[in-house]
Chains A and B, each alone.
Chain A
Amino acid sequence: MRNITYFCRLKFSTLSNFNVNDIRKQFPVLDQQVYGKPLVYFDNAATTQKPLCVIERERDYYLHENCNIHRGVHYLSQMATEAYENARKTVAQFINAKQPQEIVFTRGTTESLNLLATSLGQLLVGEGDKVVVSAMEHHSNMVPWQQMLMHRSVISTGAKRSGEISSNLLVIRMDKKGVLDLNHYEELLKQRPKIVSIAHISNTLGTVNPIKEMIAMAHKYDIPVVIDGAQSMAHQVIDVQDLDCDFYVFSGHKMYAPMGIGGLYGKMEWLEKMPPYQFGGEMVDTVSFEKTTFNKVPFKFEAGTPNVGAALGLETAVKFIQSFDRQEVEAYEDELLEYATEQLANIEGTRFIGQAPKRNGLISFVIDGVHPYDLGTIIDKIGVAVRTGHHCAEPVMTFFGIPGTVRASFAMYNTKEEIDIFVKAVEKAANMLR
């Protein structure tokens, strides 16, 4: 077995050493032209680009280590199993879980949330029971709960059909700045919902929710809390023990890791009680035609062959992030956000959607008299990649009374020069379209 150390080559310890040009060299995809113009990639909230070390790690797995895990007696299988379980350890340490077994590998945030809606739902939610989400959730943290609640009603009453409005999904209100109303949240908690599930950072508004406070509030009523961390893992230091959340879910591909891998952190006492989500190989203990007993946590939630190569890529991505001074990266990304906000504000008719005092990673806006789709189409031609539309959060758009927004989202490899190109492109497009 080749013993390769995959920690990334970049190691910065002081503020003056943060060199974005060195970081960009780790991301070959950034160094290209689209329509003859240098690519400005501001769609990081959809997916981040991958550094060379992550790409090489996954490639290396297939070159030298590929094997199915947990079941082979032979050398390669044992090595691959060890590598996969080490990746679990690295991820656990990264978010300060008490033990590696509290990390379940999934395909990403969406699968993690579906797992919870199914399994935790089965454990806790009966007919007429309620679940709390917030008004700014991504569809992934809303539809699984909504459908699970509807399914409960359909089964128990036989009368309601799926597609009907569920009154059991309680929604925390927000104000026009994109800040959640905690008084309303308290009111909802008094209705004794069975589960609370909220985003750490909103993918449309950039709002950083006060999750620690919100978790504590729910715990006063003994209600478990799920945190959707899809937008936070790449940007903020996460400590699940300090937050005291019951579950924290995330996607690898939004934190410099490959697609197809993500995770679910759950407190051991919950994971032990929860029923399996999918059935098949690996997740079983003993099987007969009459009866099956299940493997222990986390394996009982990992049916079938997992994406081992991507899990190793995720581990490398974690090490890549850890190779930086996190505060420094956060400060740099905040600086980008602030600069972009200032510059965009100079364009006539710009309206920011989401003006919470605490925002992170992205900026969402509309320009009066200009459809977001038109704007996105024009600036694409200038080489700028942003997301336009409802960002999988249609209720948020309905709330603000707009068809969609333009969303620019940043990563550590973006620069102020790119923001200048972006702002000029927006200005040019707005002038063409108005």
Chain B
Amino acid sequence: MARLELRNVTRRFGDFVAVDDVSLTIESGEFFTLLGPSGCGKTTILRMIAGFDLPDAGQILLDGQDLADIPAEKRPIHTVFQSYALFPHLTVAENIAFPLKMAHRSREKTHGMVQEALEQVRLAGKADAYPHELSGGEKQRVALARGLVNRPRLLLLDESLAALDAKLREEMQIELINLQREVGITFVFVTHAQVEALTLSHRIAVMNHGRVEQVDEPSRLYGFPRNRFVADFIGNINLIEAQVTESAHGHLRLVAAGLGEIVAQPLAGAAAGDKGVYAIRPEQVRIGVHGELTELKNHFEGEVHSLLYQGDVSVYRVRLANGAMIEALLPNSAPGRAELFEAGDAVKVGWRHDAGMFLHE
């Protein structure tokens, strides 16, 4: 259990600033995720925490202790690598015993801890197998067991689920959540897969160009993105250029390109004349036939342009009369019916006034 603190950490590679003045606090026992597109600096941060790289400026503190002078092998921090990095010449049990051997644990204690770890990841029967005899999911579990067995104060996971297929990944996500709850060790997870981050994390830091754009709980990150990048990166969203016309208590009036006058969630600090984007999630948009949806403050006439059938849901792209294109996501919940509307249908789209929000650029 440990509290990790990054204070104004900067890392440059030549002219390229990989990590730009990042400050973060990761609480004890937290499942914390660094999320961002490739090249955003998340892996560099992870390597600096693990000790494979050093910051050019700033400090990394573990429970108040500066890690700068502690080499990677002495840090109470273990990593689960993207490629798992299991030792091919050692069996599963020997792989898991490796950190215990390095810590000079007694033979009996090592044996006991390895058995316990094997059971924890449900691999007791595979103790004597070699890594090349394991499936992807099993390798993943061995890597996890090896990282956790010597009770590090912090476990780093580097894109750890990326190599698994979709079904297995979902299974491992559930296992990972349970495991983290069970052992109570602070997890720092690095990923570019936003759904995975939302599923697993207590809190997420969204990164872009070496900077942290927003740190929040998954639901707040999704529901209340702070800026255009976060809104666009997490989930799907309709983004329409807009300008504030009136900012008052309880509501915000905008003029959006192609939509005209629109009512949005109130936003502290927004003033008339501010330019930005109007953002609305596709699942908030409703579609109806002519005459429906009139009870909603924001409703527009349009025509279904195209649709993407995805099994559980369908995504409809509706071209509005004034030219804007709006995506709407509808569950295919009606039994036996796959498509509620067809391309070319005249429809109405609408959403509640508090569903959409205004974001500064």
A binds B: no
Interface residues, chain A, with chain B CB atoms under 8 Å away: none
